Amino acid sequence: MRRIGVLTSGGDAPGMNAAIRAVVRKANYHGVEVYGIYHGYEGFIQGKMELLDLGSVGGIIQRGGTKLYSSRCAKFKEQKYQLQGIEKMKDAGIEGLIVIGGDGSFRGAYALADLGLKCIGVPATIDNDVPGTEYTIGFDTALNTVVNAVDKIRDTATSHENTFIIEVMGRHSGNIALWSGLAAGAESIIIPEEPYDIDEIIARIKRGEARRKKHSIIIVAEGVMPASELARMLKEKSGIDMRITVLGHIQRGGSPSAYDRVMASRFGAFAVELLLEGKTRRAVGIKNNQLYDYDLQEIFKTEQKNTSGLYTLSKELSI
Ligand code: F6P
């Protein structure tokens, strides 16, 4: 293999730049050229690409976002656009593609691999919800962003003796809510994977008040309901006024943590190795700190991370 392509797709995640850098440097190390494809599958269809030399990925390991830009490209589900993009790749002499993104991006890579373009997926999304791998690039940085924000909100919640509901991202997954809630000592955590009980949340607040603790933090995953809706339900039953904060896209930005930089470097370099071994329709995964590759087909499994252990712990620690 003499020339490969790399693109970032879907919601951006801190560490994507570090992964691009690793792909370029590792491929160059093996004498393989890398073309950066801009704007995800949108640019793939149009053949919008540029040669990435060693210097072009200098000074990006610490930068959030993605140097290659990203997009959510709905029309890429149509085969005619997939074939159009594959033709552009053939014209440019690109023999393999590395797709850095979440499960939607992996579905695109799966389709391309079935149409004959060698494809490897690198999991990157703040949601940490890609089936087949324990970790996705960006999760750690997003968690730190959320925890920093919750710590700050707790300062003012304590001073004013308020109850705050903080809504975090995660799409259908509660990973960000659960991990950040545990790390920030939230009094209640509400995630899609576990049932919630409004009366129990109120009882928890009341128990705190009885101990003269007048503030509370509730973290709700966006996949359950909006913070405003939860505030309305709680107010209706308890009369307590809640303050709400929706953290929003701040969770997707920022300089990647050291952990995300290391994971992105490992994932990106491993993806190049897989292409050089002639593999296709595979994704990079990690379990117990061990990298491996798996069939992109696994993306179609509706696997949820096992949250029950951490969820139970969070309840035990916030009695
Ligand atoms: O998948 C990452 C993510 O940030 C989710 O947590 C969130 O639901 C979604 O993307 C938001 O996407 P957009 O910025 O396209 O609205």
Nearest CA to ligand 1 atom 6: 170
What pLDDT digit, counting tens, does each position of 130-189 carry? Answer: 999 999 999 999 999 999 999 999 999 999 989 999 999 999 999 999 999 999 999 999
Q: Which pair of structure tokens corresponds to residue 173? A: 């997954």
pLDDT over 80 (residue 305):
no
Q: What is the pLDDT of residue 230?
A: 97
Nearest CA to ligand 1 atom 1: 11
CA 22 to centroid of ligand 1, rounded, Å: 25
What pLDDT digit, counting tens, does each position of 61-113 carry? Answer: 999 999 999 999 999 999 999 999 999 999 999 999 999 999 999 999 999 99
pLDDT over 90 (residue 225):
yes
CA dist 27 and 47 (Å) reads 21
Within 6 A (CB) of ligand 1 lie: 11, 72, 102, 125-127, 169-171, 222, 252
Q: Is 114 annotated as a binding residue?
A: no
CA dist 168 and 186 (Å) reads 13
Q: Is 75 annotated as a binding residue?
A: no
Q: What is the pLDDT of residue 304?
A: 67
What pLDDT digit, counting tens, does each position of 5-63 carry? Answer: 999 999 999 999 999 999 999 999 999 999 999 999 999 999 999 999 999 999 999 99
Which residues are marked as active site? Answer: 127
Q: Is 266 annotated as a binding residue?
A: no
Nearest CA to ligand 1 atom 12: 11
DSSP track, 113-141: HHTT-EEEEEEB-TT---TT-S--BTHHH
Pairing of strands 33-37, 216-221: unpaired
Compute the average pLDDT of residues 107-131: 97
CA 169 to centroid of ligand 1, rounded, Å: 7
Mutate to test the pocket of ligand 1, among 70, 127, 139 (most ligand atoms within 8 A of CB): 127
Q: What is the pLDDT of residue 303?
A: 67
Mutate to test the pocket of ligand 1, among 39, 70, 126, 167 (most ligand atoms within 8 A of CB): 126
CA 238 to centroid of ligand 1, rounded, Å: 32
Nearest CA to ligand 1 atom 14: 11
Question: What is the predicted ipTM?
Answer: 0.98
- Residue 306: band (very low, low, confident or very high) from pLDDT cuts 50, 70, 90: confident
Mean pLDDT for the chain? 96
Q: What is the pLDDT of residue 212?
A: 84
CA 93 to centroid of ligand 1, rounded, Å: 33
Q: Which pair of structure tokens corresponds to residue 165? A: 């509901």
CA 102 to centroid of ligand 1, rounded, Å: 11
Q: What is the pLDDT of residue 307?
A: 82
Nearest CA to ligand 1 atom 8: 171
Phi, psi for residue 242 in degrees, rounded to 5: -110, 145
User: Dihedral of the CA atoms 270, 273, 279, 285 (nearest 10)?
Assistant: -10
Sketch out the chain's domains with CATH numbers: 3-138+256-300 (3.40.50.450), 140-253 (3.40.50.460)
Q: What is the pLDDT of residue 153?
A: 98
